[in-house]
Structure 1
Amino acid sequence: MDIVEQEITGDALEGVLVRPAAGSRAGVLVLHGSYGSGTVERCRLLAHAGLLALGIRWYGGEGQAPGICEVPVETFSRGLDLLHAEGAERLSVLGLSKGAEAALWLSILDRRTAAVVAMSPTSVTWANLGSGTDGRNRPWRSSWTWQGEPLPFVPLDETWEPEPREDGLVSLRGWYERSGDLHADRYEAAAIPVEQTTAELVLVAGGDDGTWPSESSARALRDRRLAAGLPTVLVERLAAGHRPRLPGEAPASLSTHLHYGGTDADDSALGEAAWPHILDALHGPACGR
């Protein structure tokens, strides 16, 4: 399918909009952990699958926090605004890692969201990663705000130190697990209340995630939904890591610092297994393909 790519610049949004040349009534906001080449590649892939795809910079840009610190969820609502203005009748969001955390909150706080694909998700809101608009990264603050108020969060353990790996890479998973144990009293208040959204939910997680325990988090999200009588699709693979690869995407770049877990083969197998569920949710019953 032919696609058309457009750079988005302006005071409200910066990013890329990729559309099928024939148009689409289904739009998806694409949120990686950071905006970059991976976001653009994923937007192109989704456009080839018949979706109007928008990837945006949501931190680190002009007027934004340098890190993931008190990022307004309204930032993502503006992405939905643009998709709607471009003709999308069904509005969805696909996020990876911290982008999945944001995507889940968007579906709760902006009821226009028809479907969420959360890849390598967390089930709670965590503290900031990096500095806020004030240039400070301490004290710990929420990653997100809504209507100017910070969302409840779990702080990170200041004393944690990674265990050395033979390959020299650092796994952050133990940091999140330790922080959850240390601040157990904050955990329930910071839980992402996915039972409060009727959006379709597809969760994709690997059991060998080296960044945080996304598989157990995905199961916790599913269980909250099931307790509320809301169906949820969970696609998991024990040997996959933090970066599932969708069919047609290039292998993830090698990291010189962080251990993400998984292998190219398992990350690809997880993405391939999730792909039909992802397309079904994003296209929806009314928009077709």
Structure 2
Amino acid sequence: MIASADLHEAGPAIANGTAVLLLAGSSGRVERERAELLAVTGARVRAIRWFGGTGQRPTPHEVPLELFAEQISSLRQDADRVVLFGTSFGAEAALVTASRFAVDGVIAAAPSSVVWAGTDGTSWSSHWTHDGVPLPAVSFDPTWIPAAEPPSFLPLYEASLRVDENATAAARIRVEDITGEVLLVAAGDDQVWPSIYFAGAIEHVRRDAGLKTTIISHPQAGHRMILPGEKAVSGGVSMRRGGTPEADAELGARAWPEILRMLQTAS
């Protein structure tokens, strides 16, 4: 169970049968404002805090996928369709969860195609566990040093993918096992991690498997897209995220029609 303080429900005026599980990234926030915006589509939206909350893991470190599976099961009780919508680490969570538990669609903003390592402050392990077992994860390049403050972590993520190619292959998210449609939103100036590369890798695997995947991108946008009606948000780890408010909003405007379609016709 998730504590009430770690959850926000947004109900539509007229329900269309779709329920959304909304997952933020490393900020750890409950995406209340985005939940209310998405509810305008007719979807019921549940935004949750998935780490740092009551009874939860303190950081994105060995977070059980069962936490998300329980929410999917709960949402299915009153919905015809369930869609996962995650950003950054939340997109990673959504894709990994959907590869193991059936959903009707995934919207992944600034996605990753692999599972990453995380720390609880004393040790490093996978971001996720399933049945109590940590999933294979990409570890970080121990030789990397940031070039500036605040840092761009893009070079770290790119370098870490190359440290151990076998480990990177083992950590690949099995997106071909996601039965529902996948919508990927990625930016060309993402300074956090190579989301545009990850999106291409995901689309390639799913295309070969004959599965529907859509990529929406913008060359000048950064890690955080801004949807129509949203304001730019702050908070989370201090880092360069790339983009500009104008480009981030343009990316959101490009993605919005596809998000609407996914939430209104997910199947």
Q: What interval of TM-score do these two structures reach, taking the shorter chain for normalisation?
A: over 0.9
8 Å Cα contact 1:69-1:143 kept in structure 2: yes
Matches within 5 A, 1:1-16: 9=3, 14-16=6-8
Matched, 1:265 2:258: no
Report how far residue 183 of structure 1 moved: 2.0
Quote the residue 2:105 is aligned against. Answer: 115
Q: d(CA) in 2 for partners of 1:145 and 1:285?
A: 28
Give the C-alpha shift of residue 23 in structure 1: 3.2
- Residues 57/254 of structure 1: CA separation in 2 closer, same or farther (3 Å cut): closer
Partner of residue 101, structure 1: 92
Please give the residue correspondences for 1:126-205 in structure 2 after superposition, counting only pairs within 5 Å: 126-128=116-118, 130-131=119-120, 136-138=121-123, 140-164=124-148, 168-205=149-186
Query: What SS does the aligned partner of 2:125 have?
Result: coil
**Cα displacement string for residues 198-218 of structure 1 (whole angstroms, at most 9, x for unaligned residues):** 110000000100100000110
The residue that corresponds to 1:208 in the other structure is 189
Q: Could you say what the CA RMSD is over the residues aligned between the two structures, in angstroms?
A: 1.8
Moved over 4 A (4+): none
- Check the 8 A contact 2:6/2:54 in 1, yes or no: no
SS at match of 1:110: coil
1:60 to 35, 38, 52: 52
After superposition, the C-alpha distances for 1:48-88 in whole angstroms (9 at most, x for unaligned) are: 22110001111111221111001011111122123223x21
Equivalent pairs counted in the alignment come to 265
Distance in structure 1 (CA, Å) of the matches to 2:92 and 2:183: 13
Structure 2 portions without partners, runs of 5+: none
Structure showing greater Rg: 1
Maintained 8 Å contact 2:109/2:184: yes
Q: Match for 1:154: what amino acid? A: V
Whether contact under 8 Å (1:28, 1:92) holds in the other structure is yes
1:123-173 alpha-carbon deviations (Å, 9 max, x no partner): 110101x30xxxx442x2110011111111111122311112xxx421111
- 2: distance between equivalents of 1:256 and 1:232? 30
Matches within 5 A, 1:266-281: 266-281=247-262
Q: CA deviation at 1:256?
A: 8.7
Deviation at 1:187, TM superposition (A): 1.0
| In 2, Cα distance between equivalents of 1:285 and 1:221 | 19
Aligned-partner residue type, residue 235 of structure 1 = I
* 1:35/1:56 contact within 8 Å kept: no
Structure 2 counterpart of 1:32: 24
Q: What is the deviation of 1:254?
A: 7.4
* Structure 1 runs not aligned, ≥5 long: 1-7
Task: Name the CA shift for 1:14/1:251 in 2 (closer, same or farther; >3 Å).
Answer: closer
Q: Distance in 2 between matches of 1:68 and 1:9?
A: 18
- TM-score, reference length from structure 1: 0.87
Q: Which residue of 2 aligns with 1:221?
A: 202
Residue number among 66, 80, 83 corresponding to 1:89 in the alignment: 80
How far the C-alpha of 1:36 sits from its partner, in A, is 2.3
Contact 1:35 / 1:55 at 8 angstroms: preserved in 2? no
**Partner Cα separation in structure 1 for residue 52 and residue 108 of structure 2:** 22
Aligned residue type for 2:6? E
